[in-house]
């Protein structure tokens, strides 16, 4: 039997023990914890929509129309007209054939690979992938092969050597712990050349990454899907969209296979339809009001300008995810605690979320942050 006390003791000694923070206010640029107010730079609420006044009013109306819970899994009676309408809208916005709304990005990734896992399937993954993508292979009957982070020569070498019947490349588009972008054009070319499928997880790009202003912001909105080969696209609603849940867009056939065979989808109670309808309202708001995303990029630009002026050594990223590598979990937690003393909430990221000796400070910018908030954050980083 496992010695649970020893496991916890070792986590505490290594400074990798994690504690939850009970937030006492809505998720916003300012939040309250234990009666104290913090400038919040720790949330994935990139477009600051989680506490949006108009969306809250929409949610109240949607609860009146749909009730609170969905009451059943999608294949029983939990699938509503709201689910169908959201799936159609996302399919239209992204340009795929079909879409499936799901409960979370983690369950989507696990269910996606689980549904198609058979003997003779290899999945090639970037070493910087999110845990949900890695576990999607480990929890299924597929062979997991990891290539060096953003090293497409290594990917091509490994994919050429492999003799599997079916080959799948699965990558994040925006890496959650660094804010770096995958080169989808290059990966797509490798997939085509080696007759492989390409799955992408755009959790931190959906609703965030600008390109073609006439299309919904995402990591693929300036790509021609007739030329760029993407076989499955995963996105989430709990970050930029400000609600809850996730989805996968693909061909009609693959989506139908997921309905028939994805265990997390089949055996989970469906996302409440009031939340689903509010998600659609949020997506339409993002499409109609371009200032929401413009404000985000103004804040990213302003933050990076101040960082340069203060000569702070920060990792490169042009996304809302900004990081500073520290390399030691003890030092990371010291900085995290000192930030809290200054009424600033940032994230201290440690092993196993990042590799050992790559511990870092992670800062998430949103469209709602003021210049004053950003300035106080950079001044703190400079002082520390």
Q: Quick one: 298 and 280 in the same domain?
A: no
- In sequence order, the 6+-apart residues with CB closer than 8 A to the CB of 298 are none
Residue 323: pLDDT above 90?
Answer: yes
pLDDT digits (tens, 9 = 90+) for 233-273: 999 999 999 999 999 999 999 999 999 999 999 999 999 99
* Final residue of a structural domain among 263, 288, 313: 288
* Count of other CB atoms within 10 angstroms of residue 109: 30
Asked, for residue 338, whether it belongs to a domain, the answer is: yes
pLDDT digits (tens, 9 = 90+) for 175-230: 999 999 999 999 999 999 999 999 999 999 999 999 888 899 999 999 988 889 99
Asked, for residue 216, whether it belongs to a domain, the answer is: yes
Q: Quick one: 139 and 229 in the same domain?
A: yes
Q: Quick one: 181 and 268 in the same domain?
A: yes
Q: Quick one: 170 and 36 in the same domain?
A: no
Asked, for residue 48, whether it belongs to a domain, the answer is: no
Residue 1: pLDDT above 70?
Answer: no
Asked, for residue 238, whether it belongs to a domain, the answer is: yes
The pTM of this model reads: 0.95
Asked, for residue 46, whether it belongs to a domain, the answer is: no
- Report the CATH number at residue 35: 3.90.1150.10
Q: Quick one: 138 and 162 in the same domain?
A: yes
Q: Quick one: 229 and 91 in the same domain?
A: yes
> What's the pLDDT band for 104 if we cut at 50, 70, 90?
very high
Alpha-carbon span 187 to 178, nearest angstrom: 19
Q: Quick one: 307 and 240 in the same domain?
A: no
pLDDT > 90: what percent of the chain? 89
pLDDT digits (tens, 9 = 90+) for 114-133: 999 888 899 999 999 999 99
Q: Quick one: 122 and 259 in the same domain?
A: yes
Q: Quick one: 114 and 144 in the same domain?
A: yes
103, 271 contact by CB (below 8 A): yes
Residue 2: pLDDT above 80?
Answer: no
Looking at the 3D structure of the chain, how many domains does it have? 2
Q: Quick one: 144 and 260 in the same domain?
A: yes
Q: Quick one: 224 and 310 in the same domain?
A: no
Asked, for residue 261, whether it belongs to a domain, the answer is: yes
**Half-sphere CA count of 297, side-chain side, radius 13 A:** 12
* Final residue of a structural domain among 241, 262, 288: 288
Q: What is the radius of gyration, based on Cα positions, of the chain?
A: 21
Residue 318: pLDDT above 90?
Answer: yes
Q: If you average pLDDT over residues 139-156, what whole number do you get?
A: 95
Q: Quick one: 149 and 186 in the same domain?
A: yes
Quick one: residue 85, left, alpha or beta (phi over 0 = left, psi -120 to 50 = alpha)?
alpha
Asked, for residue 236, whether it belongs to a domain, the answer is: yes
Asked, for residue 76, whether it belongs to a domain, the answer is: yes
* Final residue of a structural domain among 250, 270, 288: 288
The residue range of the domain holding 188 is: 53-288
- In sequence order, the 6+-apart residues with CB closer than 8 A to the CB of 337 are none
CA 194 to chain CA centroid, nearest Å: 28
- Report the CATH number at residue 101: 3.40.640.10
């Amino acid at each position: 039997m496992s010695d649970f006390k020893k496991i916890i003791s070792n986590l505490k000694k290594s400074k990798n023990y994690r504690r939850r923070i009970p937030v006492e206010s809505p998720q916003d640029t300012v939040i309250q914890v234990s009666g104290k107010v913090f400038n919040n730079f720790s949330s994935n609420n990139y477009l600051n929509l989680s506490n949006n006044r108009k969306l809250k009013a929409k949610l109240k109306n949607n609860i009146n129309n749909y009730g609170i819970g969905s009451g059943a899994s999608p294949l029983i009676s939990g699938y509503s007209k709201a689910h169908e309408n959201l799936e159609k809208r996302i399919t239209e916005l992204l340009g795929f054939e079909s879409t499936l709304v799901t409960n979370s990005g983690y369950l989507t990734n696990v269910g996606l690979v689980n549904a198609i896992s058979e003997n003779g399937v290899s999945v090639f993954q970037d070493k910087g992938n999110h845990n949900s993508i890695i576990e999607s292979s480990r929890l299924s009957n597929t062979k997991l092969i990891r290539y060096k982070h953003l090293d497409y020569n290594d990917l091509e070498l490994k994919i050429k050597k492999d003799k599997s019947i079916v080959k799948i490349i699965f990558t994040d588009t925006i890496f959650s712990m660094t804010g770096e972008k995958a080169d989808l054009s290059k990966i797509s070319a490798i997939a085509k050349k080696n007759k492989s499928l390409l799955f992408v997880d755009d959790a931190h790009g959906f609703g965030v990454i600008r390109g073609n202003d006439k299309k919904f912001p995402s990591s693929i909105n300036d790509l021609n899907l007739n030329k760029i080969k993407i076989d499955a696209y995963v996105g989430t609603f709990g970050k930029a969209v400000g609600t809850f849940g996730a989805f996968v867009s693909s061909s009609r056939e693959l989506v139908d296979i997921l309905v028939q065979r994805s265990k997390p989808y089949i055996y989970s109670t469906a996302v409440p339809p009031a939340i689903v309808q509010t998600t659609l309202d949020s997506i339409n708001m993002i499409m109609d009001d371009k200032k929401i995303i413009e404000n985000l990029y103004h804040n990213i630009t302003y933050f990076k300008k101040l960082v340069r002026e203060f000569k702070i050594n920060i990792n490169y990223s042009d996304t809302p995810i900004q990081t500073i590598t520290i390399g030691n979990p003890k030092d990371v937690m010291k900085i995290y605690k000192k930030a809290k003393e200054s009424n600033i909430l940032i994230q201290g990221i440690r092993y196993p979320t990042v590799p050992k000796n790559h511990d870092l400070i992670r800062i998430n910018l949103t469209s709602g942050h003021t210049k004053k908030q950003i300035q106080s954050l950079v001044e703190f980083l400079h002082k520390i």
